[in-house]
Structures are given as C-alpha cells and as structure tokens.
C-alpha cells in the first residue's frame, strides 16, 4: 500500500510539467529556446537591438548574449565539410543547411558505378565529420535548400526539399546567423545544349552513380532479349561519355575494366557488342602534360575505349548529334563537361567574379556584405584582387575550407564572432593556393600521377602500375573516416578476388 500511495503522489515539479504540456495550445512548447515560432515572438519584443522586426520569426532566432555565436554553412561538399571539421565548437555553434546529409568522396565516385566500390564507401555522414551537430544544443543539420539571403537582417530563408512532399508538406523557415559561409558548390555545365538535362546522367552525386549502375545493368539484360534487332542491341550496349576531364576519363577506364573482366565472363552473348566512346571537343586531360595525355589515349584505346573529337550540338532520347552532323546512338549517356554557377548562386544579389560565381577577396570574404564568406566551387576571386581564377577542384575547396575555419576561430578569439563585430579585427595572412598535383586512373591497373605545380614547372610525373598504386594509396589515406577507409580497402580486395557484383538492385 505504501508503494501504491507513493506512485500516485504527484510532486509540484511534475504537476508544472504536465500543466505546461496541457496548455501547449495557448503557448507553444519548444524543446530548445533557440527555436522560435511566430506565435511566441509576438509575445516578445517586436524588434531586436539592431532594429530588425522579429514579430513573425519562425526558425532559429538571433543568438543572445551569453550564447555562442552561430556559423551557418550552406552546403555539404568538400569546402563546407572541411570548414565544419576545423571550426572550434567551443567558440561557435554550427548549423548546416544542405539537400544531402553526407559528403561525397568524389575521386572514388566513378568506381561505384560499376561495382568496384559500394556506394556507402564514398559517403561520409556530416555528423561524423562534425559530431557537435548531433550533440551540442545549439548546433543543427537541416535537410533543406536555401532560397534567399537577407544580408541586412543577417538571415537565410530556407525551405524543405520538394521531392520530400509525400513525407512532409513544404515548409519554409529562417535562420539567423552571426557568420554565414556559402559553400553550395556548382552544377554541371550543359552549355545550353538541348536535351542534356532530360537524357544524360551526370556524375556528381551518389544517386547519379546509382542511376548509371541501374541503367547499365538494365541495358545488359535487355540486350539478351530474343528477336531484338542487331542495331537496337548495339545501341543499348553503346556507352557514351561526354567530357574528357579526369572524371570522364576515370569513368571510361572503370567501365572498360568492367566490360573486359566481368561482362565478357557473365554476358558472353553480348561481349562483342558492348563498347565505350569518349567524346571531347579538345584534348582530354588538358591539365596534364602532353606525354601523360598521349599515354592515357594509348591505354584507353587498348582497353577498347574509342576517342572522338567533336562538339555535341543536340541530345535526343536515343542518340546525340555532333557539330559535323554525325549521329551517335547510345544506350547510356554520361555527361561530364565541367561545372558552372548554380541557379541559387546566380540569384544572389552579391558581387560576382567574371565566371558568374560569388566574388570574394583574398580572405574569402564577400566585399560590401558583413559577415558573409564564400568558398569552394561557388566562389571565385573578384577582378579587383588581381588573382587568377582557381580551378574547380576538390583540393582547392578543401584548402579553402581549412583556411576559413582557422580564420573564423581567430576572429572569435578576438571577440569578433558575433554579427557586425569583426570590422576592426586584423585578419592576418590571406589565402594562398599551392597546387599539390593531379592524379587519374585510366583502367587496367594503370594511372597518371603529375606532382608538378603547373604544366610548365619541374617535378615528378609518372605513369603505369606504380602510378596506379600511388593513386590508390593516396586516396585511401584521404578518405575521411577510418570506417570508410576500411570499407574501401575491403571492397577493393573483394573485387580483386571475386570480381564485381552485377546484381541490379
């Protein structure tokens, strides 16, 4: 009886909590005081200290005195994730807004298309890169897109992903920031060519690699259909890659290895009909020297990759047309012709560089806008800086992210972490990029390694099996987590012993 009486007794503390939940209809209950709804803020003061109206604020409110300043990062690519990894979470709260909750290790993405690696081996969760996002009360990740920037009010306007409408109705919210880092990346360049968006597959995200793999294996199986005309079988088995940069060349090499080592063993009926064509308007691997490029072309030809020099003028559902009128039928079309500014970047009312990217100075700042920085493929030096445009490479983005993380940490230590407080702080040395070299695999256990700072500089450049071993070793050490390094090593070993998996799942 004593136990029953104690169980039924309600303490004053418990009663207050119950009452708070019961009265949630009149005064919304939030799990964190940092989140605000419009109803809550109508009870509070309608204006903040800087005169910005907050009476209809929904989302993360501005930080208060005694709270850590907030860094908002737009994007989860190489630049944004390297910045989040290096930011001191004892000085800042970190909020990431991105349409994906992981970083893609892009140098190994082509290997996932043919089953050399599994997809999860190249995807690193953001919460592993910066654990504070899942642990600290003021740090968050939001699966959303940024739709607008209000630099005067120090706010970004976000909305949930349109493809998730079946799960959640579209929601819009705002996030107040003390420091904003735009690292939203770029989009694949189509040069306005008709039909590219509808018919080609890009190779920039994990879902692109998954789509390529499904399409490739589907075409292999459909090509075995009885009574299929030979011309249709050849079309289904023709894989066309547009773009002779490192991504296009590496994918062509991986695909040729897949055909020689796996397709010809398991699809013997079609082994003589499947082939790969690489189309490039100029020279392939233009960042490498002539000796390495000639070697790459020679090895790709030995692997069965046909190189065509031409410009694509039109893309139709089952064929593309070159500038000389040649029609090229295809079953799989992969587009890898470089990147350009995204519609979001073009919509921002910020200074732009000559290529249409967000214009920045030597410290990654966006001039004339307080507390806004830009890094990665979405940014470029303004003409007034006198600096050349940096290439859209992972190593450039990673180095910019590391530099800006250190810079923001120093700003916070100098009491400049809050909005509009860093105007008089000495920023130190500007960012300087030093090229560490380039590498590319071309299949058949061969690769190119060019460790020179530029094409005209002196340094180490090599080809062959040793280069392939260096390529694999270097990228294995660059994979972010030990978990994914283990995955990649096991995948490589499994593929070497048992071959690639050809299941279409």
Segment 394-440, tens digit of pLDDT: 999 999 999 999 999 999 999 999 999 988 899 999 999 998 889 99
Q: Is 51 left (phi over 0), alpha (psi -120 to 50) or beta?
A: left
Cα–Cα distance measured from residue 261 to residue 308, given in angstroms and rounded to the nearest whole number? 24
**Beta-carbon-side half-sphere exposure of residue 105 (alpha carbons within 13 Å):** 25
Check residues 126 and 57 and name the one with the higher pLDDT. Answer: 126
Residue 21: count other Cβ atoms within 10 Å of its Cβ: 8
Contacts by 25-33, CB closer than 8 A, 24 or more apart: 32/137, 32/138
Tokens 């910005």 correspond to 52
Tell me the CA distances in angstroms from 113 to 75, 118, 419, 445, 456, one per residue in order.
24, 9, 44, 17, 34
Cα–Cα distance measured from residue 71 to residue 184, given in angstroms and rounded to the nearest whole number? 15
Q: Give the strand pairing for 339-340 and 187-188.
A: antiparallel
Most distant pair of Cα atoms in the chain: their distance: 95
Q: What is the DSSP string of 386-427?
A: TPPPPP--HHHHHHHHHHHHHHHHHHHHTT--STT--TT---
Check residues 284 and 50 and name the one with the higher pLDDT. Answer: 284
Tokens 């949930």 correspond to 160
Residue 39: count other Cβ atoms within 10 Å of its Cβ: 12
Element (H, E) at 182: strand 179-182
Residue 18's pLDDT is 32
Break the chain down into helix, strand, coil percent, rounded to 5: 35, 20, 40
Cα–Cα distance measured from residue 376 to residue 409, given in angstroms and rounded to the nearest whole number? 19
Segment 299-316, tens digit of pLDDT: 999 999 999 999 999 999
Residue 123: count other Cβ atoms within 10 Å of its Cβ: 19
Residue 165's pLDDT is 65
Flag whether pLDDT at 54 surpasses 80.
no
Segment 459-500, tens digit of pLDDT: 788 999 999 999 999 999 999 899 999 999 999 999 999 999
Check residues 15 and 499 and name the one with the higher pLDDT. Answer: 499
Tokens 């360049």 correspond to 189
Residue 331's pLDDT is 96
Per-residue pLDDT, averaged over 32-39, amounts to 57
pLDDT band at 227 (very low <50, low <70, confident <90, very high): confident
Cα–Cα distance measured from residue 84 to residue 55, given in angstroms and rounded to the nearest whole number? 31
Angle between helices 78-86 and 394-413 (to 10 degrees): 30
Flag whether pLDDT at 113 surpasses 70.
yes
Residue 52's pLDDT is 43
The pLDDT mean for the chain works out to 87
pLDDT band at 49 (very low <50, low <70, confident <90, very high): very low
Cα–Cα distance measured from residue 223 to residue 226, given in angstroms and rounded to the nearest whole number? 8
Residue 502's pLDDT is 81
Show the tokens assigned to 162.
């349109």
Which stretches does DSSP call E strand in 297-416?
305-309, 312-315, 319-322, 327-329, 332-335, 339-340, 358-360, 372-374, 379-381
Residue 164's pLDDT is 66
Flag whether pLDDT at 115 surpasses 90.
yes
- Per the CB < 8 A criterion, the answer to whether 194 and 315 are in contact is yes
């Amino acid at each position: 009886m004593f136990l029953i009486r104690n169980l039924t007794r309600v303490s004053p503390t418990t009663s207050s909590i119950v009452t708070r939940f019961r009265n949630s209809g009149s005064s919304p209950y939030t799990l964190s005081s940092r989140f605000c709804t419009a109803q809550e803020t109508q009870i509070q003061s309608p204006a903040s200290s800087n005169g910005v109206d907050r009476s209809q604020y929904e989302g993360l409110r501005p930080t208060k005195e005694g709270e850590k300043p907030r860094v908002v990062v737009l994007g989860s690519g190489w630049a944004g994730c390297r910045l989040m990894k290096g930011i001191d979470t004892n000085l800042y709260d970190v909020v990431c807004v991105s349409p994906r909750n992981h970083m893609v290790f892009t140098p190994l993405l082509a290997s996932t298309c043919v089953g050399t690696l599994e997809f999860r081996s190249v995807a690193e969760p953001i919460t592993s890169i910066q654990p504070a996002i899942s642990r600290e009360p003021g740090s968050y990740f939001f699966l959303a897109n940024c739709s607008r920037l209000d630099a005067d009010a120090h706010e970004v306007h976000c909305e949930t992903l349109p493809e998730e409408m079946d799960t959640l109705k579209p929601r819009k919210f705002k996030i107040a920031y003390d420091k904003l880092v735009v690292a939203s990346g770029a989009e694949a360049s189509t040069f306005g060519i008709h039909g590219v968006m509808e018919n080609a597959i890009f190779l920039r995200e994990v879902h692109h690699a998954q789509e390529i793999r499904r399409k490739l294996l589907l075409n292999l199986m459909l090509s075995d259909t009885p009574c299929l005309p030979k011309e249709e079988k050849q079309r289904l088995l023709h894989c066309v890659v547009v773009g002779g940069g490192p991504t296009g060349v590496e994918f062509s090499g991986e695909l040729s290895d897949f055909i020689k080592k796996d397709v010809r063993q398991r699809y013997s009926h079609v082994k003589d009909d499947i082939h790969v064509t690489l189309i490039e308007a100029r020279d392939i691997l233009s960042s490498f020297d002539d000796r390495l490029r000639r070697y790459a072309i020679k090895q790709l030809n030995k692997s069965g990759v046909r190189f065509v020099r031409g410009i694509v003028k039109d893309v139709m559902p089952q064929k593309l047309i070159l500038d000389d009128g040649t029609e090229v039928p295809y079953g799989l079309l992969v587009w890898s012709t470089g990147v350009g500014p995204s519609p979001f970047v073009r919509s921002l009312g910020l200074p732009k560089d000559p290529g249409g990217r967000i214009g920045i100075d030597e410290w990654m700042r966006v001039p004339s806008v307080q507390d806004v920085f830009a890094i990665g493929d979405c940014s470029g030096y303004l003409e007034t800086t006198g600096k050349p445009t940096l290439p859209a490479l992972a190593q450039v983005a990673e180095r910019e992210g590391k530099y800006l993380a250190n810079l923001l940490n120093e700003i916070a230590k100098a009491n400049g972490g809050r909005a509009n407080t860093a105007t008089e702080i000495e920023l130190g040395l500007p960012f300087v990029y030093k090229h560490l070299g380039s590498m590319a695999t071309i299949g058949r256990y061969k690769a190119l390694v060019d460790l020179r700072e530029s094409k005209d500089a002196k340094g180490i450049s090599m080809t062959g099996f040793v280069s392939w071993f260096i390529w694999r070793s270097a990228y294995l050490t660059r994979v972010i987590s030990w978990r994914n390094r283990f995955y990649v090593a096991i995948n490589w070993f499994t593929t070497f012993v048992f071959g690639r998996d050809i299941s279409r799942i």
